[in-house]
Structure 1
Amino acid sequence: MAEKAGGAGEAMAARHPLPEKMLLSVEYPGYVGDADKAVLTLGGSRRLGRSAVAGSGAPVELRYRYNDLSSHPINGQTVPTQNLLIKVTRRVKRTQGPDGAVRRECVHSDARVVAVLDRTVRFRRLADFQYIASDNDMVARLSRLGRTLDVDEIKRLGASDPFEVAVDAATGYLPAPFLDHRGWPAQYQSVGGEAAHSEAEAEARRRRELARQGFNVACIKYQDTEVPTAPTPAASKDGESIPAELLQRAQRILDECPVVSRSVMETLLPPGECGGRKASAIMPMLAYLMYNGPWRNCWIRLGYDPRTDPGSCKYQVLDIRYATGNPSSLSASRAHQSRRYSGGSGQAHGDSARDRTHVYDAEAAHSRATGIFQFMHVEVQPLRDLIDYSNGRRQTPCEYSGWLQPSVMRTMRTKLKTLKRMSGSARQEDSQQTLAVDYGELDRLIAADREAEEAELASEQMLSARDGFAASGGQQLLPQAVRERVEARVDQSMRALRMQDGDGTSDESGGEFGIFDDDDDDDDDDGGDDDDE
Structure 2
Amino acid sequence: MADARQSAPLWTMPASSFVTIEYPGIVGTSESSLEKALSTLSPYVKPGAGMSSAPSALAHLAHILSLGGKLVECRLAPLPGQAGDQMQMFRHPLLGDVVPGNGLVLRIRRRVLQRRMGECLETRKVYTVELLGPISTTIRFRRMADFAFRPTMPAGASEHPTLALHRALADLDVDAMRAYRFSTDAQEYQVEEDTADGKCMRSNLAMIPPPLFSRMELPFAYGYRQNPASSLQTVPYVTTSKRSRRTARKGSGDADTSGADQRILTRYLNRSRWRNMAPIALKYSEQAGAPTAPESSLAVMPLSERHEALLTQLRGHLDERPVWSRLSLMNQLTVSDARFVAQAKELFALVAYTFADGPWRDTLVRFGYDPRVHVESRFLQRIHLRGKAPRTPTTRGVFKTEYGDVSHAGRAALQKGASPDGMRPSTHIFDGKHVSISASTFQLCDITDPTLAPLIHVDGPGSLREVPNATTGWYADSAWDAIRSTISHRFHALLKDELNADNDSTWDRADAESSAHESEDDEDVP
Bin for the TM-score computed over the shorter chain: 0.3 to 0.5
Q: TM-score, normalised by structure 1?
A: 0.36
Choose 1 or 2 for highest CA Rg: 2
Comparing both structures, which one devotes a greater share of its residues to strand? 2
Q: TM-score, normalised by structure 2?
A: 0.36
